[in-house]
Structures are given as C-alpha cells and as structure tokens.
Structure 1
Amino acid sequence: MILLLCGCGSWTNTGLNPSPFRLSANATPIKQIQKPQSQEVTVYIQGKVEKIAPLMQRRAYQINDGTGKIWVISQQKNLQIGQEAVFKGKVKYQSIPLAGQDYGEVYLAE
C-alpha cells in the first residue's frame, strides 16, 4: 500500500536549516495540493523528510512542510530523516476502496 501512496523527483538543499522552517517562494504548500483532475499537474514542494520507505529501485519519502504531509516517490536514495529537500513532481491520486469507502491519497510522482 505504501507503494501507492508516494511520488516525485528531488534535489536536496545543502544550506543551513533555518528555524522555524520557511517555504521557498516557488514551493506549493502541501495543504494546497488536492486530488488532480488530470495527471498533468506539476508542483514543487519543500519540506523535511519524516519517514522513508524503500521500494524497488526507488524510495518513498514522507515530507512535512509545516502545512501538511505528503508521500513522494523518488529515484534518490540518499536522503535521511530530518533532512530538508525540494521535490518537483506530478500530483497523483491512488484510490484505495475498502468496505464501500475510498481511502485514497494524493502523492507526488517523479
């Protein structure tokens, strides 16, 4: 199920981690990312890695920007928990129907 809840390409920010965390001008706040009407919505997000899930030839990272959390699927395998990163990805939605209800989730794909 984690495979379905993650996505995106990224590069890391090697600068100092300011406190409190501030979004760059180009980043979309995670709380504003919604279920896409098409698969062509591309966004930039910036946040800290909270969880990592290894996948076949990829990694899934849960990113928190202070406004919300989202899973990101990335080719990068070198990010660590607590590290700040910037991702560019397409907004995706995976439906997970259980007992007549949809427990799907939005994620970013590289």
Structure 2
Amino acid sequence: MQQTKISIRGLLHLGLSFSLLTGLYACGKEGNSRINLENLNIGVNVTQIQKVTKQNQDTTVYIQGKIEKIAPLIQKKAYQVNDSTGKIWIITNQGNFQVGEQVVLKGNVQYKSVPLAGKEYGEIYLEEK
C-alpha cells in the first residue's frame, strides 16, 4: 500500500489557488461583487421559516431566503424573506438589500399580539440586534 504525503506547502498552494479563482470570478461579474447564495446551503444553523414560532420568542435564529418586500422604517428597514417553507419579516439596520436578493440573516424571534374582536391576529417577526 502506497502512502501519499501531503505537505504544508502543497496545501498552501491549493488554498491560494482557490482564493485566486474565487476572487477572479467575483471581479468578473459586472456590477455585482456579492456572493450568490441562491444555491448555497449554509447548514444546520439555518432555521426554516415555517419552524419559527412564537414559542421561540427571544431566541436567536438564522434564516436564509429571498427578499420579497421592503418596508422603510425610521432609521431601520423591514424585509419580508421567503425560504419556500414560509415568509417572515425581519427588522434590521441594514439598508442595502434589493427585492429578489438571496440573504442569510440573524435575528431575535419576536411576537406581537394583535387581539381584534375576540380573535388573535398576532405576527411573528425577527429583529436583528
């Protein structure tokens, strides 16, 4: 059985090559140097929107999805994010997202109760802290 030696120098060259290629790819995209997250699945830290409930209130979650709507607020913005399992609003200080853009955002789960005529019309949302 033949053993393969992997040198530190070889790993360094491989890492630098990968960095160079990804940098060149990003520079080659006209007017858009952002990373496309559309086909990227971040992993187990991302929570599906349908699983965010009012029982998760005051916990921090990561969501991944596409910006569908933007609502300007005083000194903040609210974005409606859709991840194919559901939609949720996130309130943030970040004001640079566009409709259709794929994002990964971290927020604190909040629930606002809105009782009306004996029925509950509350809303779950995220607030970036």
Cα shift at 1:89: 0.8
- Kindly report which structure 2 residues correspond to 1:45-64, keeping only aligned pairs within 5 A, or say none: 45-64=63-82
Q: Output the TM-score relative to the length of structure 2.
A: 0.67
| Equivalent-residue separation in structure 2 for 1:33 and 1:106 (angstroms) | 8
Identity of aligned residues (%): 52
Match of 2:52 in 1: 33
Match of 2:13 in 1: none
Q: SS at 1:16's partner residue?
A: coil
Work out the number of aligned pairs and report it: 94
> Contact 2:62 / 2:106 at 8 angstroms: preserved in 1?
yes
Mark the structure with the bigger radius of gyration.
Answer: 2
> Contact 2:57/2:108 (CA < 8 Å) preserved in 1?
no
Q: Tell which has more relative contact order, 1 or 2 (C-alpha 8 A, sep 6+).
A: 1
CA distance in 2, matches of 1:38, 1:74: 17
List gaps (5 residues or longer) in structure 1: 1-13
Name the TM-score, length of structure 1 as normaliser. 0.78
More helix by share: 2
Q: Determine the C-alpha separation between the residues in 1 that align with 2:91 and 2:98.
A: 14
C-alpha RMSD over aligned residues? 1.5
SS in 2 for 1:36: helix
Q: State the partner residue of 1:11.
A: none
1:86 maps to a residue whose letter is V
1:83 corresponds, among 101, 115, 122, to 101
Q: What residue is the counterpart of 2:113 in the other structure?
A: 95
Q: Does 1:71 find its partner at 2:75?
A: no
